[in-house]
Structure 1
Amino acid sequence: MKNDELFWQKLIEGDKNTVKEIFQLNVPLLVKYGRRFTSNDAIIDECIVEVFLDLWKNRQTLDKKGTVKIYLMESLNQQIKTNQGQRQLKRA
């Protein structure tokens, strides 16, 4: 819990090393989690990058009470759904 609060605080303050640390600690989990929704590793990788770009871009509006892993997993789930929906529209 303390780590999450520290991560959020440093992230909100604009500490780029914190993003790097969160990335390194969570990417293996996110890849595994992403495979629940798609077997396409390229889509998973693309969506993980988008999650972290959004995390940085929206860092000042984050809910500091949440946990980092849950935030990342929920964001990845939403990003994959969005990505798949866009791909289906392109095929139509």
Structure 2
Amino acid sequence: MAIKTMMQDSEGNTDYLWKEFKRGNQLAFASIYNLYVDRLFIYGSKLTPDRELVKDCIQEVFFDLYNKRHSLSDTDNIRYYLLKSLKNTLLRKIQRERRIIELNKKTTSDFNIEYSFEKKIIENEIEEEKKLLVKTILADLNDKQKEILFLRFMQGLSYSEISEIVDIASDSVKKQVYRTVKKIRKSLGAKTNMIFYLFFNLQKVSTF
């Protein structure tokens, strides 16, 4: 299968892409970079407002990835591997350089919700009633709930993958998702159809 064709299929056969990269195929490496760099920047920007730091960490993630390619194990989810690597790199750099208040892995108070679904949604000029409703719902979620929702519904990670990133048990992640969605449904009341609108707009703000 040609790498160029795979790029057109977005995240199609990533297993093949990963194996080609490990064999030293530079086009495969470039394809991985192009497929995931925007996702990484979006996620990193929600962990810290320091965008230059995020860019530096992304470059470091890919630099390390390339240098260690021959010793890497197989993975069936490149996106999960890169998201986890970026968070660990950011944690390490922030703690070392003390650029912002210490990013605590266990409390995930780091998930900067200036993160800002609200701000982006407002910029997208959503109708006033819907805008207010979405803003109210999101403001009622804590930082960890927002990070878990982001990883689950916007990045499509499994519960076990999310548990590795946020450092809580997989069962706890599943319960958090269930309780948060239930909480959102309760907030929506009679407008339960709006839950699809809410998640649609969360996905919309994941692009530049």
**Fold match by TM threshold 0.5:** yes
Using CA pairs under 8 Å that are at least 6 residues apart, name the structure with larger relative contact order, 1 or 2.
1
Secondary structure of residue in 2 paired with 1:35: helix
User: Structure 2: which 5+ runs fail to align?
Assistant: 1-10, 100-208
Q: TM-score, normalised by structure 2?
A: 0.40
1:18 positional shift: 1.1
Give identity over the alignment, percent: 26
Q: TM-score, normalised by structure 1?
A: 0.88
Aligned match of 2:66:
56
Aligned match of 1:45:
55
Task: Give, as a single letter, the amino acid of the residue that structure 1 aligns with 2:79.
Answer: K
Aligned match of 2:25:
15
User: Structure 1: which 5+ runs fail to align?
Assistant: none
Aligned match of 2:77:
67
1:65 positional shift: 3.0
Secondary structure of residue in 2 paired with 1:52: helix
4+ aligned runs moved over 3 Å, structure 1: none
1:72 positional shift: 0.5
More helix by share: 1
Question: Size of the alignment, in residue pairs?
Answer: 89
Secondary structure of residue in 2 paired with 1:56: helix
